[in-house]
Amino acid sequence: MWSGSTNSDLMKQLNYESKKPFPKHSPHLNPDYEKTIETGLKVMAGNVIGLMSK
């Protein structure tokens, strides 16, 4: 599973400037922690629930 972590407003700005966000494990990465963790938890919980319902 890959989880993006760049703030959507920053991503729009980078796209406008034809730039890319810093890669994961870069010392310059500035992730949107709250949104990334929240989304990751929802996805993982959904996966567990899906696996348990089979």
Q: Please, are residues 28 and 22 in contact by the beta-carbon 8 Å criterion?
A: yes
What distance, in Å, lies between the first and last C-alpha atoms of the chain? 21
pTM for this structure?
A: 0.61
- Asked if pLDDT for residue 9 goes beyond 80, the answer is yes
Domain holding 49, by residue range, is 1-21+30-54
Q: Which of 29-33, 35-39, 44-48 has the highest mean pLDDT?
A: 44-48
Average pLDDT, the chain: 89
Please compute the mean of the pLDDT values over residues 27-34 and round it to a whole number. 86
- Asked if pLDDT for residue 54 goes beyond 80, the answer is no
- Asked if pLDDT for residue 3 goes beyond 80, the answer is no
Domain count, the chain: 1
Could you tell me the two tokens for 31?
A: 């992730």
